[in-house]
Amino acid sequence: MLSIDSIKKGVVIDHILAGKAMQIYDHLNLEALDCSVAIIKNAKSEKRGKKDIIKIEDRIDLDLNILGYMDPNVTVNIIEDGVITSKLKLSLPDTLTNVIQCKNPRCITSVERHLSHKFLLSDRGQKIYRCAYCEQEHK
Amino acid sequence: MRHVIEPTDLSPPELNDLIKAAEEVRRRPEDYAGRCHGKILAALFYEPSTRTRLSFESAMLALGGGVIGFSSGDASSASKGESVADTIRTVSCYADICAIRHPKEGAALVASQFSTIPVINAGDGGHEHPTQTYTDLLTIHSIKHRMTDMTVGFCGDLKFGRTVHSLLKALTLYPRNRYLLVSPEELRIPDYIRGLLKERDCLFEEVTDLESAIERMDVLYMTRVQRERFFNEEDYVRLKDSYILDKRKLSAAKPDLTILHPLPRVNEIAPEVDSDPRAQYFQQARYGKFIRMALILKLLEEAGAC
Ligand SMILES: [Zn+2]
């Protein structure tokens, strides 16, 4: 059996909307880590019926802000010495890079494909992001 | 490296200093004739804009510097598919400062991210054009000797007119001005500008009739009402005359009204108005040169090149 139940030190991203784990894995660029990462798909959840879970062993210094944009309902537990030491409160990140795409045909990103699609949070309350180049709101 | 991509890239105190510097240039141009001797401005115009390009070139030559560049996208390496980033990296080796005009929004910002020389946005699509806004501010200040306690009228297409939005954003930083916003119902200012006016506690009125509003104005900023902004031809024909400034409408205006227009004009100001001393729109081009001289000098000095 895979030893994924408990980790001594690391991060557990819980209550991920079922089916979204791989997307989160990609956006957090977890592939680049050399520590062990477990993805559990379609686990039973009282809150959401089904859920995905990601467990990252050994690392607790990851930038997880993007989760606040991708799925604000997830819970992030930081584990040290086998116990949950803190639950990360997710907030919307100030910038999003290559998470969403600018759809403005007049934007420079529409012709220069190598540019990263960068968005800046312009209204936290209303969750409005604007393209860093053309300032068009993402809808 | 300092760049000017949007009007707010200069803080309000910096902008005041820039206006002062430009007025000094206007008073004593001979003192500035050699200030940028040996320096080179790259004018990268990916789309033609003769007026803006000549203004930048004239400004640099008046400072004693030289100019290189291109004046349309098809003559440049862009037509061979080179990115803005690669072009600016190369140009950074040839020039000390760059003015870029590009049809796509955000192009100047991209250039600034890869540039090792100061970049001035000379217009990126319908997005920003900071030296236009600075020109408008300098013109108003030079003629009125103040930036406060004025009634400023804006007339025409207030919905899509970028120059109007940028100037309003800048002017509303100064206290005690009132705004008369004259436009057809369909072309009123967008919500975010209305929000800004309220947020900054500005007094403003949105009206549809120029003739009855003009008598209260100290400054009148005219813009074009474009045919294609209307749903149908009848509305356009019915409305366009109300937003054309002619001698008859002007007869009700104050004797010291200042009439401005970003140019080029089509038919929104009748030629008979041109000879009226209140018409200042052709003087604006002169101010545009002075503000660009002051800006080029400021950026080159900050970069340690002058
Ligand atoms: Zn964009």
pLDDT on residue B96: 98
Q: Please name every residue paired with A52 in a beta bridge, in sequence order, or none if there are none.
A: A16
Structural domain boundaries in chain B: 7-128+288-302, 130-284
pLDDT per residue as tens digits for the range B179-235: 999 999 889 999 999 999 999 999 999 999 999 999 999 999 999 887 777 778 888
B104 CB within 8 Å of a chain A CB: yes
Best CATH choice for the domain B130-284 from the list 3.40.50.1370, 3.40.50.261, 3.30.1490.20, 3.40.50.300: 3.40.50.1370
Of A111, A114, A136, nearest to B104 by CB-CB distance is A111
Looking at domain B7-128+288-302, its CATH architecture is: 3-Layer(aba) Sandwich (3.40)
Question: Which residues are close to ligand 1, an ion, with C-beta < 5 A?
Answer: A 102, 104, 107, 131, 133-134
DSSP secondary structure string, B116-150?
Answer: SS-EEEEEETTS--HHHHHHHHHHHHHHHS-SSS-
d(CA A88, CA A94): 17
- A53-67 residue pLDDT tens: 999 998 878 888 889
Per-residue pLDDT of chain B (306 residues; tens, 9 = 90+): 999 999 999 999 999 999 999 999 999 999 999 999 999 999 999 999 999 999 999 999 999 999 999 998 776 666 678 899 999 999 999 999 999 999 999 999 999 999 999 999 999 998 999 999 999 999 999 999 999 999 999 999 999 888 999 999 999 999 999 999 999 988 999 999 999 999 999 999 999 999 999 999 999 999 988 777 777 888 887 777 789 999 999 999 999 999 999 888 888 999 999 999 999 999 999 999 999 999 999 999 999 988
Q: Do domains B7-128+288-302 and B130-284 have the same CATH topology?
A: yes
- Most A-contacting residue of B105, B110, B114, B192 (CB-CB within 10 A), to test interface: B105
CA distance A133 to chain B (A): 4
Give the distance (Å) from ligand 1 centre to CA of residue B101: 17
Name the pTM for this structure: 0.87
Give the residue extent of every domain in chain A.
Answer: 10-89, 95-138
Domain A10-89 has CATH 3.30.70.140: yes
Ligand 1 mean position, distance from CA A101 (Å): 8
Instruction: Calculate ∠ Cα A8-A11-A14, nearest 5°.
Output: 115
Interface of A with B in 40-69 (CB under 8 A): none
A95-138: CATH topology is SH3 type barrels. (2.30.30)
Q: Which one, of B193, B210, B189, B211, lies nearest residue B202 by Cα?
A: B193
B125 touches A at CB < 8 Å: yes
Is the bond into B12 cis (omega within 30 degrees of 0)?
no
| Matching residue, tokens 């004009």 | B265
User: Does any CB of chain A come closer than 8 Å to the CB of residue B298?
Assistant: no
ipTM of the complex: 0.86
